[in-house]
């Protein structure tokens, strides 16, 4: 919600009036000096929208405020009113309405286009979040990063490395949305004060690492790639089992952590729907973008969301620090997922992070069944992984 500053007002007053933590208001208006608010300056209040209301014959501003669970001054501010008695029946008044529910939930799977629209919606409603494009896919689609919080601890999460695991994007976006709603409503998440997480942790999220692949699984091949994609898919128009990017490279087999072992033993020796690690490590723009994001930030831990198995992997070749086991035990406790230290696998994003930085990294396998998992599992997946999401921020 946006309006123009009134003479004599302050962020402290707006925080009290709208019951929004002051740091969220400050961070939503980075280009405005909070100690020198000038009358007429446009500012944003996160977690609110202004909704139109047609003034009725018997209305008074006090009655409207009481009926709509608002305050007299809040209505006057957003409508730039000087006199509360000057109401004209039939005219439109704008009322502040607090957002108390998620806005990015969907009953249908969504690809990169809908994801970008939902990110744009979140930025409008919660302008304290920061958005970055960390790179582009093979087809030039932006790979978006969302940043929330300003603490010293830095946590990174991502989803949809694999195309037919698109449900991970939906889960991660819903987790983000739930967190944002809790922040602006001064509420808790499983007993944890959300604003404390915001002040103590900076969260980085890449909700869709492989936009081309996800769109292929959901919508079929684009016309200019159709012939090559069908050839990789052995002529089949069925793409539900496709994991790779649009060039047939498995993005989670692209990292320089014993990549040569995977290259040697993987059955596909050329581009394929799954498992082909590429002709060299970090050959694909999506994998490169993720590697550069990690290199340019000192993340304390990373979580990569995949499906399926209701388990997670937290070790790699003994490079993991003691902290990893502490986190793994807590993740296991809050989710019911099984913690597995080592598996016979290399060249993954998590593997490379642990090997390169000696910090905790996790591959979280959501749900059970055959990919892509049905949306009927969504609620159960969300409830179990929410504990991991929160634990990764507060521990």
Burial of 227 (0-12, 13-18, 19+ CB in 10 A): exposed
What positions carry a catalytic annotation?
365
CB contact set of 37 (below 8 Å; sequence gap of 6+): 5, 9, 10, 11, 43
Q: Please report the DSSP string for 327-392 in residue order.
A: HHHHHHHHH-PEEE---S--S-HHHHHHHHH-S-EEEEEESSSSSSPPGGGHHHHHHHHHHHHHHH
Closest CA to 256 of 130, 362, 348: 348
Task: Give the CA count within 13 Å in the CB-facing half-sphere of 350.
Answer: 27
Task: Give the CA count within 13 Å in the CB-facing half-sphere of 11.
Answer: 22
The Cα 168–Cα 109 span in angstroms is 10
Indicate the pairing of strand 48-54 with strand 92-98: antiparallel
Dump strand ranges (E) for 71-223. Answer: 92-98, 130-136, 142-148, 153-159, 188-189, 192-193, 201-206
């Amino acid at each position: 919600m946006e309006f123009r500053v009134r003479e004599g007002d302050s962020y402290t007053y707006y925080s009290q009036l709208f019951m929004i933590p002051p740091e969220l208001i400050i961070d939503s208006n980075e280009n405005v000096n909070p100690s020198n608010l000038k009358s007429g300056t446009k500012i944003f209040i996160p977690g609110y929208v202004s909704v139109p209301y047609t003034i009725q014959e018997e209305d008074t501003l006090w009655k409207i405020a009481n009926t709509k669970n608002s305050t007299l001054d809040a209505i006057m501010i957003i409508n730039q009113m000087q006199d509360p008695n000057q109401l004209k029946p039939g005219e439109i008044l704008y009322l502040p309405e607090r957002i108390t529910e998620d806005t990015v939930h969907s009953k249908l799977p969504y690809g990169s286009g809908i994801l970008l629209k939902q990110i744009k919606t979140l930025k409008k409603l919660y302008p304290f979040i920061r958005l970055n494009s960390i790179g582009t896919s093979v087809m030039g689609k932006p790979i978006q990063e969302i940043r929330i919080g300003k603490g010293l601890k830095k946590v990174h999460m991502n989803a949809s490395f694999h195309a037919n695991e698109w449900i991970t994007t939906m889960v991660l976006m819903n987790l983000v949305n739930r967190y944002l709603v809790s922040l602006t409503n001064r509420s808790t998440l499983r007993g944890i004060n959300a604003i404390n997480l915001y002040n103590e942790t900076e969260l980085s999220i890449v909700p869709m690492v492989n936009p081309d692949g996800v769109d292929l699984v959901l919508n079929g091949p684009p016309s200019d790639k159709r012939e090559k994609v069908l050839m990789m898919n052995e002529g089949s128009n069925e793409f539900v089992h496709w994991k790779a990017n649009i060039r047939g490279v498995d993005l989670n087999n692209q990292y320089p952590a014993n990549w040569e072992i995977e290259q040697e033993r993987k059955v596909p020796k050329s581009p394929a729907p799954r498992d082909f690690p590429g002709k060299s490590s970090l050959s694909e723009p999506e994998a490169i973008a993720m590697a550069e994001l990690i290199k340019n930030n000192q993340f304390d831990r990373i979580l990569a969301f995949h499906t399926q198995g209701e388990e997670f992997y937290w070790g790699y070749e003994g490079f993991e620090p003691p902290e990893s086991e502490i986190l793994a035990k807590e993740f296991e406790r809050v989710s019911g997922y099984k913690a597995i230290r080592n598996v016979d696998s290399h060249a993954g994003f998590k593997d490379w992070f642990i090997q390169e930085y000696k910090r905790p990294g996790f591959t979280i396998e959501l749900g059970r069944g055959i990919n892509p998992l049905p949306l009927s599992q969504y609620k159960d997946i969300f409830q179990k992984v929410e504990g991991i999401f929160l634990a990764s921020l507060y521990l």
